[in-house]
């Protein structure tokens, strides 16, 4: 009786560095074949083991700026002089139109830009169990200096204050628990009344007549 809209959901995952966004996102993709993760574009050089078109789209600064002028990004940021990151919107819109759910794993500022452009986006904030645990995770990476870890930790305090601007918040104490909650959010969003395209009830008199005959 109910015909739902066929377009996919735009899901935004963001939160402080070390909250576990990447792990959650990767596990979610393994469990759901109808979710596609958007590939960001960047001007930074590929790291060892990274593949163009899978990890990122790697372009020059001039090419990135040209794409900005051509309005090709859903969101973008100049993280540092000459270092850009952005979400190409053409493939995102194509996937959504085809009924595929699209997930964006982006930073706080990028999420803000997406919300302004696409208010229907489902924005989920991934919160660490505690700031002490977050610091432990950052230090446990072993890939950054103490100064860099401290810088990320200070930034995380500022980013946590943005949580009230999101639709949902999930505390990532255990990845399995976080995945269950995100799956439940996606399922609930698909059942929203504003996603109903049409309600087919047929001819009321015919339906009543058929029901009365069935009672005889």
What is the predicted pLDDT for the residue at 215? 56
* Chain segment 74-115, per-residue pLDDT in tens: 999 887 777 899 999 999 999 999 999 999 999 888 999 999
Average pLDDT over residues 173-184: 94
Q: What is the mean pLDDT of the chain?
A: 86
For residue 9, is it within any domain?
yes
What is the predicted pLDDT for the residue at 187? 93
Domains: count for the chain:
1
Residue 172: burial class (beta carbons within 10 Å; 0-12, 13-18, 19+): buried
DSSP 18: T
Q: Assign residue 200 the CATH number of its domain.
A: 3.40.50.300
For residue 66, is it within any domain?
no
Spell out where 49-208 has E strands: 57-58, 73-80, 83-88, 101-105, 122-127, 168-171, 196-199
Q: How confident is the model at residue 3 (pLDDT cuts 50, 70, 90)?
A: low
Tokens of 197: 């395209």
Domain span including residue 167: 2-38+100-215
User: 31 vs 14, 36, 176, 178, 182, CA distance in Å?
Assistant: 20, 12, 11, 13, 12
183, 140 contact by CB (below 8 A): no
For residue 57, is it within any domain?
no
* Chain segment 26-55, per-residue pLDDT in tens: 999 999 989 999 999 999 999 888 899 988
For residue 94, is it within any domain?
no
* Chain segment 133-161, per-residue pLDDT in tens: 877 877 776 666 777 777 777 777 788 88
What is the predicted pLDDT for the residue at 5? 66
């Amino acid at each position: 009786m109910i015909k739902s809209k066929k377009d996919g959901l735009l899901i935004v995952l963001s939160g402080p560095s070390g909250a576990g966004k990447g792990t959650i996102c990767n596990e979610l993709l393994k469990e759901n074949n109808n979710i596609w993760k958007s590939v960001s574009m960047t001007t930074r050089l590929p790291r060892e083991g990274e593949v163009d078109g899978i990890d990122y789209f790697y372009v020059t600064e001039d090419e990135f700026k040209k794409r900005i002028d051509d309005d090709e990004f859903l969101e973008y940021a100049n993280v540092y002089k000459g270092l850009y990151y952005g979400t190409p919107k053409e493939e995102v819109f194509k996937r959504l139109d085809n009924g595929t759910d699209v997930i964006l794993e982006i930073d706080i500022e990028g999420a803000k830009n997406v919300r302004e452009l696409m208010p229907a986006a489902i924005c989920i904030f991934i919160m660490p169990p505690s700031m002490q645990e977050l610091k432990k995770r950052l230090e446990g990476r072993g890939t950054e200096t103490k100064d860099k870890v401290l810088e990320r930790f200070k930034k995380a305090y500022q980013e946590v204050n943005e949580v009230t601007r999101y639709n949902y918040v999930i505390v990532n104490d255990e990845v399995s628990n976080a995945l269950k909650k995100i799956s439940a959010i996606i399922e609930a969003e698909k059942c929203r009344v504003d996603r109903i395209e049409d309600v087919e009830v047929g001819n009321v008199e015919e339906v009543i007549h058929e029901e009365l005959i069935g009672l005889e």
